[in-house]
Amino acid sequence: MEKHKRPKKLKKKAVSTVAAVLSLLILCAVVPSLGSVADQLSILSAAFLLPEGSGALFESRASSKQPPDAAPQTSSASSATPAQTPAQSSAQSSSQSSEIPAPDEVPQENRGPISEEFFENSGDNYGSVWIKNSTGRTIDIKNILETKPTVDMSTEGPKVLIVHTHTTESYELADRGYYDTTVTARRTDLNLNMVRIGNEIQKQLEDAGIGVIHDTEIHDYPAYNGAYNRSGAVVTAMLEQYPSIQVVLDVHRDAITRSDGTKVKPTAVINGKKAAQVMIISGCEYDNGVSYPNWEQNLRLAARVQQSMADSYPGLARPLNFKNACYNQNLSPGSILLEFGTDANTLEEAVYSGELVGKCLAQTLKGL
């Protein structure tokens, strides 16, 4: 009897395997998201070994639209990332969900302390504008504010370019008072990293009638080193393609960790709601071999945005950080680097700050 049963089992298994393979061949032909031919063959070979699990394998592969979250790998790579067209940028941004996922539970032994603090004004000031000047130069804040930046808002076409040199910088997903010491605060999911903040700034500017190009390319993963070279190549290409661009925003977040492992969370309460405090960084020409004659134009624009934040939403802005640095600001006389909170702030707080800064920037540009 067993001699007669065994061929039936083998026949049944063969039929099951052939059916699974034929099903996957059809799916691979009609679903582009399955990727390359090599990916498809990998799935098909798995079907021969595990025909009953082939459906689950297909669903997992087809739904994987983003690379896994990971810390950037240190590398000397510096090749430029191709710039996106405005249509590609808009489509990629709008495809992201606005829902913030709930964070995983963290064991007690992996919880690091967070200190929520309000950063007071310090440095030199004129009126509501405070500047921390570490350049060694003497600056006249009153004169800087009264001198109009070289920004022409009368031309046709997009006026603002938003980039993210350190795109994968990210935040806490909930206000829990601690962070997970076993993970890095970097994510490749565009809904959870700096692109999300850029989306909010873009929305506020466009609502005010100001055209925006938003570069959503990831410049710091998988290679972290060379990120400024890659984002700089995008800025250069976009300025050539769209000479109407007057302002370049490089949107980041800060990170402040004390020697005991405590992460500092700069927070302000604006209209009854927590917001991540924001710091503008404006650089100037110094002895690093980079010609940077237009640094004062950048500072004039930065100081006006700083004034708008201070007047409209007191406490939102940390003192403007004026330092010997470049950060690709030599590429345009309307360049600003913005730091939205730290990795201890929540994504919700940073998004709210993006809304407020977007409104202040729109107000500043409309007034020029």
Q: Which CATH class is domain 86-366?
A: alpha beta
- Is 220 exposed, middle or buried, given 0-12, 13-18 or 19+ CB atoms closer than 10 A? buried
Residue 99: the pLDDT is 82
Residue 289: the pLDDT is 82
Residue 290: the pLDDT is 86
The three-state secondary structure class of 135 is coil
Rounded Cα distance between 260 and 340, Å, is: 23
User: What is the pLDDT averaged over residues 55-77?
Assistant: 34
Helical ranges in 82-179 per DSSP H: 86-94, 141-146
Pair of tokens at residue 84: 């996106």
Residue 185: the pLDDT is 96
Extents of the domains making up the chain: 2-62, 86-366
Looking at residue 47, the DSSP 8-state letter turns out to be H
The pTM for the full model equals 0.76
Q: What share of the chain is helix, strand, coil (3-state, %, to 5)?
A: 40, 20, 40
Residue 84: the pLDDT is 37
Q: Is the peptide bond before 149 cis (omega within 30 degrees of 0)?
A: no
Higher pLDDT, 310 or 34: 310
Residue 97: the pLDDT is 57
Buried b (16+ CB within 10 A) or exposed e, 184-197: ebbbbbbbbbbbbb
pLDDT in tens, 273-320: 999 999 999 999 998 888 888 899 999 999 999 999 999 999 999 999
Cβ neighbours of 348 (radius 10 Å): 18
Q: Name which of 76, 78, 72, 46 is nearest 61 in CA terms.
A: 46
Q: How confident is the model at residue 54 (pLDDT cuts 50, 70, 90)?
A: very low
Q: Which of 19-33, 144-158, 210-224, 241-255 has the lowest mean pLDDT?
A: 19-33
Q: How confident is the model at residue 240 (pLDDT cuts 50, 70, 90)?
A: very high
* pLDDT value at 56 more than 90: no
* pLDDT value at 65 more than 80: no
